[in-house]
A = this chain, B = another copy of it.
Amino acid sequence: MNNDRNPDKNQPRSPTLEDVARAAGLSPMTVSRALNNPKVVRPGTISRVMEAVNSTGYIPNMLAGGLATKRTKLIAVVVPQINNNMFVDTVQAIGDELALRGYHMLLCIVGYTTESETEIVSTLLTRRPDGMVLTGIHHSSDLKRVILNANIPVVEIWDMTPTPLDMLVGFSHEKIGHAIGHYFLEQDFTRFGLICASDRRAQVRKNGVIDVLRSRPGSFIRDITVTAPANMEVGRSGLSQLIEEDKAFDAIICTSDTLAQGAIMEAEARGLRVPQDLKVIGFADLNFAAHNRPAITTICVDKVKIGQQAANMLADKIEGHEVAESVIDIGFSLIVRESA
Protein backbone atom coordinates (compact mmCIF):
# COMPACT_ATOMS: atom_id res chain seq x y z
CA MET A 1 0.00 0.00 0.00
CA ASN A 2 0.89 3.62 -0.35
CA ASN A 3 1.54 4.53 3.25
CA ASP A 4 4.24 7.09 2.43
CA ARG A 5 3.66 10.73 3.21
CA ASN A 6 0.35 12.18 2.11
CA PRO A 7 -0.05 12.09 -1.65
CA ASP A 8 0.06 15.15 -3.96
CA LYS A 9 0.89 17.77 -1.39
CA ASN A 10 1.46 20.28 -4.19
CA GLN A 11 -1.92 22.03 -4.04
CA PRO A 12 -1.82 23.39 -0.51
CA ARG A 13 -5.23 22.66 0.94
CA SER A 14 -5.88 24.99 3.84
CA PRO A 15 -5.65 23.24 7.18
CA THR A 16 -8.81 21.86 8.75
CA LEU A 17 -9.88 21.02 12.21
CA GLU A 18 -8.59 17.55 11.55
CA ASP A 19 -5.11 18.81 10.73
CA VAL A 20 -5.07 20.76 13.94
CA ALA A 21 -6.33 17.74 15.84
CA ARG A 22 -3.61 15.58 14.39
CA ALA A 23 -0.96 18.18 15.26
CA ALA A 24 -2.26 18.35 18.80
CA GLY A 25 -2.80 14.64 19.20
CA LEU A 26 -6.50 15.14 19.91
CA SER A 27 -9.78 14.49 18.21
CA PRO A 28 -11.28 17.16 15.93
CA MET A 29 -14.20 17.47 18.29
CA THR A 30 -11.98 18.43 21.18
CA VAL A 31 -10.29 21.04 19.07
CA SER A 32 -13.66 22.40 18.05
CA ARG A 33 -14.67 22.67 21.66
CA ALA A 34 -11.40 24.27 22.69
CA LEU A 35 -12.06 26.94 20.10
CA ASN A 36 -15.77 27.51 20.57
CA ASN A 37 -16.57 26.46 24.08
CA PRO A 38 -13.29 26.55 25.99
CA LYS A 39 -14.86 26.31 29.42
CA VAL A 40 -15.68 22.66 28.95
CA VAL A 41 -12.14 21.66 28.10
CA ARG A 42 -9.13 21.28 30.32
CA PRO A 43 -6.76 24.28 30.26
CA GLY A 44 -3.80 22.12 29.35
CA THR A 45 -5.67 20.77 26.38
CA ILE A 46 -6.53 24.29 25.28
CA SER A 47 -2.91 25.30 25.16
CA ARG A 48 -2.04 22.25 23.11
CA VAL A 49 -4.81 23.21 20.72
CA MET A 50 -3.66 26.82 20.50
CA GLU A 51 -0.18 25.73 19.71
CA ALA A 52 -1.42 23.44 17.00
CA VAL A 53 -3.62 26.20 15.62
CA ASN A 54 -0.64 28.50 15.35
CA SER A 55 1.69 25.94 13.89
CA THR A 56 -0.81 24.90 11.26
CA GLY A 57 -2.10 28.40 10.48
CA TYR A 58 -5.62 27.14 10.92
CA ILE A 59 -8.46 29.43 9.92
CA PRO A 60 -11.91 28.07 10.70
CA ASN A 61 -14.29 27.50 7.84
CA MET A 62 -17.55 29.21 8.65
CA LEU A 63 -19.22 27.72 5.62
CA ALA A 64 -18.87 24.34 7.19
CA GLY A 65 -19.59 25.71 10.63
CA GLY A 66 -22.66 27.53 9.45
CA LEU A 67 -23.91 24.50 7.63
CA ALA A 68 -23.68 22.47 10.77
CA THR A 69 -24.99 24.99 13.28
CA LYS A 70 -27.38 26.96 11.08
CA ARG A 71 -25.91 30.13 12.51
CA THR A 72 -23.67 32.26 10.35
CA LYS A 73 -22.92 35.41 12.34
CA LEU A 74 -23.75 37.22 9.16
CA ILE A 75 -26.16 40.13 8.78
CA ALA A 76 -27.37 41.23 5.37
CA VAL A 77 -27.93 44.96 4.99
CA VAL A 78 -29.90 46.44 2.13
CA VAL A 79 -29.68 50.18 1.44
CA PRO A 80 -30.56 52.24 -1.60
CA GLN A 81 -27.33 54.25 -1.70
CA ILE A 82 -24.42 55.18 0.43
CA ASN A 83 -22.70 57.94 -1.48
CA ASN A 84 -25.38 60.58 -1.07
CA ASN A 85 -24.57 61.09 2.61
CA MET A 86 -28.01 60.02 3.64
CA PHE A 87 -27.44 56.42 4.72
CA VAL A 88 -23.72 56.22 5.08
CA ASP A 89 -23.64 57.05 8.78
CA THR A 90 -26.26 54.44 9.47
CA VAL A 91 -24.41 51.81 7.49
CA GLN A 92 -21.15 52.57 9.22
CA ALA A 93 -22.87 52.43 12.58
CA ILE A 94 -24.43 49.09 11.75
CA GLY A 95 -21.08 47.74 10.68
CA ASP A 96 -19.30 49.04 13.76
CA GLU A 97 -21.91 47.73 16.14
CA LEU A 98 -22.12 44.36 14.46
CA ALA A 99 -18.35 43.99 14.61
CA LEU A 100 -18.51 44.58 18.34
CA ARG A 101 -21.00 41.77 18.57
CA GLY A 102 -18.97 39.41 16.43
CA TYR A 103 -21.04 39.66 13.26
CA HIS A 104 -20.07 40.48 9.73
CA MET A 105 -22.02 42.72 7.39
CA LEU A 106 -23.03 41.66 3.93
CA LEU A 107 -23.80 45.00 2.31
CA CYS A 108 -26.06 45.30 -0.68
CA ILE A 109 -26.55 48.68 -2.33
CA VAL A 110 -29.59 48.39 -4.48
CA GLY A 111 -30.17 51.86 -5.90
CA TYR A 112 -33.56 53.47 -5.99
CA THR A 113 -34.50 51.54 -9.09
CA THR A 114 -35.87 48.58 -7.20
CA GLU A 115 -35.29 46.20 -10.10
CA SER A 116 -36.66 43.52 -7.87
CA GLU A 117 -36.14 43.75 -4.20
CA THR A 118 -37.44 40.24 -3.86
CA GLU A 119 -34.78 38.86 -6.12
CA ILE A 120 -32.05 40.80 -4.37
CA VAL A 121 -33.17 39.64 -0.97
CA SER A 122 -33.49 36.06 -2.16
CA THR A 123 -29.91 36.13 -3.39
CA LEU A 124 -28.85 37.48 -0.05
CA LEU A 125 -30.77 34.75 1.76
CA THR A 126 -28.71 32.29 -0.15
CA ARG A 127 -25.95 33.11 2.36
CA ARG A 128 -28.22 32.15 5.23
CA PRO A 129 -27.66 35.38 7.17
CA ASP A 130 -28.74 35.32 10.80
CA GLY A 131 -30.62 38.55 10.29
CA MET A 132 -31.36 41.31 7.86
CA VAL A 133 -31.65 45.08 7.76
CA LEU A 134 -33.97 46.54 5.16
CA THR A 135 -34.26 50.21 4.33
CA GLY A 136 -37.86 51.28 4.13
CA ILE A 137 -41.18 49.64 4.77
CA HIS A 138 -42.78 49.26 1.38
CA HIS A 139 -42.29 45.74 0.20
CA SER A 140 -44.08 43.55 -2.28
CA SER A 141 -46.07 40.66 -0.90
CA ASP A 142 -43.61 38.37 -2.64
CA LEU A 143 -40.82 39.91 -0.64
CA LYS A 144 -42.76 39.55 2.56
CA ARG A 145 -43.39 35.90 1.86
CA VAL A 146 -39.73 35.25 1.15
CA ILE A 147 -38.62 37.05 4.28
CA LEU A 148 -41.14 35.37 6.50
CA ASN A 149 -40.20 32.00 5.04
CA ALA A 150 -36.57 32.64 5.80
CA ASN A 151 -37.60 32.88 9.39
CA ILE A 152 -34.88 35.28 10.49
CA PRO A 153 -35.13 38.53 12.42
CA VAL A 154 -35.48 41.59 10.25
CA VAL A 155 -35.18 45.26 11.09
CA GLU A 156 -36.66 47.82 8.80
CA ILE A 157 -35.04 51.23 9.13
CA TRP A 158 -35.49 54.87 8.15
CA ASP A 159 -39.23 54.76 8.14
CA MET A 160 -42.14 54.26 10.48
CA THR A 161 -45.13 51.97 10.62
CA PRO A 162 -46.94 50.30 13.48
CA THR A 163 -46.89 47.05 11.53
CA PRO A 164 -43.37 46.22 10.43
CA LEU A 165 -42.38 42.86 9.01
CA ASP A 166 -40.66 42.17 12.28
CA MET A 167 -38.76 44.96 14.02
CA LEU A 168 -38.24 48.56 13.07
CA VAL A 169 -36.19 51.58 14.00
CA GLY A 170 -36.95 54.76 12.20
CA PHE A 171 -39.01 57.88 12.27
CA SER A 172 -42.06 59.39 10.65
CA HIS A 173 -41.41 61.29 7.48
CA GLU A 174 -44.94 62.54 7.60
CA LYS A 175 -44.47 64.05 11.05
CA ILE A 176 -41.34 65.72 9.84
CA GLY A 177 -43.32 67.26 7.04
CA HIS A 178 -45.89 68.47 9.53
CA ALA A 179 -43.23 69.96 11.78
CA ILE A 180 -41.74 71.89 8.91
CA GLY A 181 -45.14 73.12 7.84
CA HIS A 182 -46.00 74.35 11.30
CA TYR A 183 -42.64 76.00 11.71
CA PHE A 184 -43.32 78.20 8.74
CA LEU A 185 -46.98 78.78 9.39
CA GLU A 186 -46.15 80.08 12.82
CA GLN A 187 -44.03 82.71 11.17
CA ASP A 188 -46.97 83.78 9.06
CA PHE A 189 -45.42 83.04 5.74
CA THR A 190 -47.75 82.45 2.85
CA ARG A 191 -45.73 81.73 -0.27
CA PHE A 192 -43.95 78.40 -0.32
CA GLY A 193 -41.81 76.55 -2.79
CA LEU A 194 -40.93 72.88 -2.36
CA ILE A 195 -38.01 71.14 -3.99
CA CYS A 196 -38.53 67.43 -3.60
CA ALA A 197 -36.34 64.51 -4.51
CA SER A 198 -38.00 61.71 -6.38
CA ASP A 199 -37.65 59.04 -3.74
CA ARG A 200 -40.60 57.80 -1.83
CA ARG A 201 -39.55 59.00 1.60
CA ALA A 202 -38.94 62.50 0.31
CA GLN A 203 -42.40 62.54 -1.23
CA VAL A 204 -43.94 61.59 2.07
CA ARG A 205 -42.16 64.44 3.81
CA LYS A 206 -43.31 66.80 1.10
CA ASN A 207 -46.90 65.68 1.38
CA GLY A 208 -46.71 66.18 5.12
CA VAL A 209 -45.55 69.73 4.60
CA ILE A 210 -48.25 70.46 2.08
CA ASP A 211 -50.99 69.05 4.27
CA VAL A 212 -50.13 71.52 6.97
CA LEU A 213 -49.54 74.50 4.71
CA ARG A 214 -52.87 73.93 3.00
CA SER A 215 -54.61 74.14 6.33
CA ARG A 216 -53.99 77.85 6.29
CA PRO A 217 -56.28 79.56 3.79
CA GLY A 218 -54.45 81.73 1.34
CA SER A 219 -51.29 79.71 1.26
CA PHE A 220 -49.59 79.70 -2.08
CA ILE A 221 -47.73 76.45 -2.69
CA ARG A 222 -45.62 75.35 -5.62
CA ASP A 223 -43.81 72.07 -5.57
CA ILE A 224 -41.47 70.46 -8.01
CA THR A 225 -39.94 67.02 -7.99
CA VAL A 226 -36.38 66.80 -9.14
CA THR A 227 -34.76 63.72 -10.54
CA ALA A 228 -32.07 61.74 -8.77
CA PRO A 229 -29.31 62.26 -7.89
CA ALA A 230 -30.43 65.06 -5.60
CA ASN A 231 -27.19 66.99 -5.70
CA MET A 232 -26.42 70.69 -5.39
CA GLU A 233 -26.78 71.38 -9.09
CA VAL A 234 -30.24 69.95 -8.98
CA GLY A 235 -31.06 72.13 -5.99
CA ARG A 236 -29.89 75.19 -7.88
CA SER A 237 -31.91 74.47 -10.96
CA GLY A 238 -34.86 73.53 -8.81
CA LEU A 239 -34.93 76.99 -7.30
CA SER A 240 -34.42 78.57 -10.71
CA GLN A 241 -37.40 76.76 -12.03
CA LEU A 242 -39.57 77.77 -9.11
CA ILE A 243 -38.56 81.39 -9.25
CA GLU A 244 -38.94 81.70 -12.97
CA GLU A 245 -42.50 80.46 -12.75
CA ASP A 246 -43.57 82.40 -9.70
CA LYS A 247 -41.34 85.17 -8.55
CA ALA A 248 -41.93 85.69 -4.90
CA PHE A 249 -41.47 83.04 -2.27
CA ASP A 250 -41.19 83.38 1.45
CA ALA A 251 -39.67 79.99 2.04
CA ILE A 252 -38.19 77.12 0.11
CA ILE A 253 -38.54 73.67 1.60
CA CYS A 254 -36.09 71.08 0.37
CA THR A 255 -36.17 67.37 1.03
CA SER A 256 -32.45 67.24 1.68
CA ASP A 257 -29.69 69.50 2.90
CA THR A 258 -27.91 69.01 -0.36
CA LEU A 259 -30.82 70.43 -2.29
CA ALA A 260 -31.07 73.21 0.27
CA GLN A 261 -27.41 74.04 -0.16
CA GLY A 262 -27.93 74.28 -3.89
CA ALA A 263 -31.02 76.39 -3.47
CA ILE A 264 -29.20 78.79 -1.17
CA MET A 265 -26.41 79.13 -3.65
CA GLU A 266 -28.82 79.86 -6.46
CA ALA A 267 -30.73 82.36 -4.36
CA GLU A 268 -27.60 84.28 -3.56
CA ALA A 269 -26.51 84.17 -7.17
CA ARG A 270 -29.79 85.87 -7.96
CA GLY A 271 -29.19 88.53 -5.37
CA LEU A 272 -31.61 87.09 -2.86
CA ARG A 273 -30.26 87.03 0.65
CA VAL A 274 -30.92 83.96 2.77
CA PRO A 275 -32.64 84.23 5.18
CA GLN A 276 -33.53 87.90 4.83
CA ASP A 277 -35.21 87.64 1.45
CA LEU A 278 -35.87 83.93 1.40
CA LYS A 279 -35.89 81.18 3.99
CA VAL A 280 -34.54 77.77 3.08
CA ILE A 281 -34.86 74.57 5.08
CA GLY A 282 -33.32 71.19 4.40
CA PHE A 283 -33.44 67.71 5.80
CA ALA A 284 -31.10 65.20 7.47
CA ASP A 285 -28.54 67.48 9.09
CA LEU A 286 -25.80 66.22 6.82
CA ASN A 287 -22.26 66.91 7.89
CA PHE A 288 -21.97 70.22 6.06
CA ALA A 289 -25.31 71.69 7.15
CA ALA A 290 -24.01 73.29 10.32
CA HIS A 291 -20.98 74.67 8.54
CA ASN A 292 -22.59 76.11 5.46
CA ARG A 293 -22.97 79.84 5.30
CA PRO A 294 -25.70 80.55 6.05
CA ALA A 295 -25.83 77.50 8.28
CA ILE A 296 -28.71 75.37 7.13
CA THR A 297 -31.83 75.05 9.23
CA THR A 298 -32.81 71.45 8.99
CA ILE A 299 -34.32 68.35 10.50
CA CYS A 300 -31.91 66.24 12.46
CA VAL A 301 -32.36 62.51 12.75
CA ASP A 302 -29.91 60.40 14.65
CA LYS A 303 -28.55 58.37 11.78
CA VAL A 304 -25.93 56.68 13.89
CA LYS A 305 -28.42 55.67 16.53
CA ILE A 306 -30.65 54.09 13.92
CA GLY A 307 -27.77 51.88 12.90
CA GLN A 308 -26.74 51.02 16.42
CA GLN A 309 -30.23 50.14 17.52
CA ALA A 310 -30.90 48.11 14.42
CA ALA A 311 -27.71 46.12 14.87
CA ASN A 312 -28.32 45.49 18.53
CA MET A 313 -31.96 44.57 18.17
CA LEU A 314 -30.96 42.06 15.57
CA ALA A 315 -28.12 40.60 17.58
CA ASP A 316 -30.29 40.47 20.69
CA LYS A 317 -33.08 38.63 18.96
CA ILE A 318 -30.68 36.26 17.24
CA GLU A 319 -29.05 35.44 20.53
CA GLY A 320 -32.38 34.77 22.14
CA HIS A 321 -32.57 37.85 24.34
CA GLU A 322 -35.82 39.64 24.76
CA VAL A 323 -36.19 42.67 22.55
CA ALA A 324 -38.21 45.02 24.71
CA GLU A 325 -39.51 47.29 21.99
CA SER A 326 -39.66 45.96 18.50
CA VAL A 327 -40.74 49.27 17.01
CA ILE A 328 -38.57 52.22 17.85
CA ASP A 329 -39.34 55.74 16.78
CA ILE A 330 -36.10 57.60 17.26
CA GLY A 331 -37.83 60.86 16.49
CA PHE A 332 -36.27 63.98 15.04
CA SER A 333 -35.63 67.57 15.88
CA LEU A 334 -35.90 70.77 13.95
CA ILE A 335 -32.60 72.57 14.22
CA VAL A 336 -32.98 76.26 13.70
CA ARG A 337 -29.81 77.75 12.31
CA GLU A 338 -29.42 80.65 9.95
CA SER A 339 -31.13 79.75 6.73
CA ALA A 340 -34.70 79.74 8.00
Tell me the nearest residue of chain B to A107, going by C-beta. B107
| Bound Cα distance A107, B91 (Å) | 10
The residues of B that contact A149 with a CB separation of less than 8 Å are: 12, 14, 57, 59
The residues of B that contact A145 with a CB separation of less than 8 Å are: 57
A232 touches B92 (CB 8 A): no
B96 touches A92 (CB 8 A): no
* A261 contacts chain B at the CB level, 8 A cutoff: yes
| Bound Cα distance A95, B95 (Å) | 15
- Interface residue stretch chosen among A80-88, A176-184, A246-254, A314-322: A80-88
On chain A, the number of residues with a Cβ less than 8 Å from chain B's Cβ atoms is 53
| Bound Cα distance A59, B92 (Å) | 29
- Tallying the copies of this chain within the complex gives 2
A288 touches B150 (CB 8 A): no
* A146 contacts chain B at the CB level, 8 A cutoff: yes
* A128 contacts chain B at the CB level, 8 A cutoff: yes
Partner of A265, one of B63, B124, B291: B291
| Bound Cα distance A108, B63 (Å) | 18
The residues of B that contact A10 with a CB separation of less than 8 Å are: none
B83 touches A89 (CB 8 A): yes
Known contacts A126-B61, A127-B62; A12/B92 CB under 8 A:
no
A122 touches B88 (CB 8 A): no
* A262 contacts chain B at the CB level, 8 A cutoff: yes
Tell me the nearest residue of chain B to A77, going by C-beta. B107
* A67 contacts chain B at the CB level, 8 A cutoff: yes
B61 touches A64 (CB 8 A): no
The residues of B that contact A265 with a CB separation of less than 8 Å are: 291, 293
* A151 contacts chain B at the CB level, 8 A cutoff: yes
The residues of B that contact A72 with a CB separation of less than 8 Å are: 63
| Bound Cα distance A145, B108 (Å) | 30
Interface, chain A (partner B; CB < 8 A): 12, 14, 57, 59-64, 66-67, 72, 74, 81-83, 85, 88-89, 91-92, 95-96, 99, 104-109, 111, 122-128, 145-146, 149-151, 231-233, 261-262, 265, 287-288, 291, 293
